[in-house]
Amino acid sequence: MEKTKVAIIGSGNIGTDLMIKILRTSQELEMSVMVGIDPDSDGLARARRLGIATTHEGIEGLIRMPEWKQIKVIFDATSAKAHHFNWSHIQQYADKKIVDLTPAAVGPYLIPSVNFDENLDVKNVNMVTCGGQATIPIVAAVSRVAKVHYGEIVASIASKSAGPGTRANIDEFTETTARAIEKVGGADKGKAIIILNPAEPPLVMRDTVLVLSESADREAVRDSIHQMVETVQQYVPGYTLHQEVQFEEVPAESPVFIEGLGYRHGLKTVVLLKVKGAGHYLPEYAGNLDIMTSAALAAGEKLIEVSY
């Protein structure tokens, strides 16, 4: 089967890891061009050593390359601000689709385990954030069983795994993840917090998900969560429950106050997750970056499967 040619914009950690994943694991995608803005970046140097065409002139340089005509999918692994600029150049080309790994949220949110089939006919899909990819499936799993009033997530990642792009996007991370908890996870209200943990040796990504829903059968909720974890593991093998699901009933006579919603009661569900990276390019502790590149790869393969 002839593979579909793709380009990656952003030669940092995320872009380079995605490139290695495509080269090693994808049966549908073929790396055509790696794009950056720093001619001396490790990502561009590594791409050149692997025989992949490169440009250090950003999206404008990519469009000038002869390879541009054959490229069908572009992965944007830059920053939220840069994505708006890149999209302004790409959107006019009817035969191109873009998978956005930044928190820019120009296109609809895409969580492969939750809403794959709803976003197959659009040109630009947004992969939310690493915290969103790890935790929104859990909120959605509870939503399948009971109406969710509130979803709160805390993503703790190793400081060493947070490069300049991640640090520049902290505000967008919290805003985009919170909105996606509501739009994709099904919560009436969402909140997201990210912690950069400076511990040495670096710790793998840990995520805590707290969900307050209407009262529901605990076994049904637990089963839904376990099924969702298995679904995510199909494209992120290092995604696991760190502890068993925890429940607590919030009684009607002692409700909790949720800003923007008022007082709510019901079933509180707490899920602790661990995300270990595959170690393709990044260290195993960088599960936050691995889950983004794994989800983006799954999205890119699905988009070309349907469209071309």
- Say what the alpha-carbon torsion angle 62, 66, 67, 69 is, to the nearest 10 degrees: 90
> Could you say which DSSP state residue 144 is in?
T
What is the C-alpha separation between 116 and 128, in angstroms, rounded? 13
What is the C-alpha separation between 45 and 42, in angstroms, rounded? 5
Catalytic residues: 130
Question: Please, which residues bridge with residue 191 across strands?
Answer: 152
Q: Do the beta carbons of residue 293 and residue 24 sit within 8 Å?
A: no
**Would you list the DSSP string of 268-297?**
EEEEEEEE----SSS-TT-HHHHHHHHHHH
Please tell me whether residue 195 adopts helix, strand or coil conformation. Answer: strand
What is the C-alpha separation between 22 and 241, in angstroms, rounded? 27
In one letter, which amino acid is 229? Answer: V
Please give the structure tokens belonging to residue 28: 């549908």
> Could you say which DSSP state residue 116 is in?
G
In one letter, which amino acid is 158? Answer: A
What is the C-alpha separation between 171 and 189, in angstroms, rounded? 18
What is the C-alpha separation between 243 and 161, in angstroms, rounded? 24
Backbone angles phi, psi at 298, to 5 degrees: -60, -40
- Phi and psi based region of residue 279 (left: phi greater than 0; alpha: psi -120 to 50; beta: remaining): left
Please give the structure tokens belonging to residue 257: 């106050």
42 CB-side CA count, 13 A = 9
Task: For residue 189, give the H/E element and its range.
Answer: strand 187-197
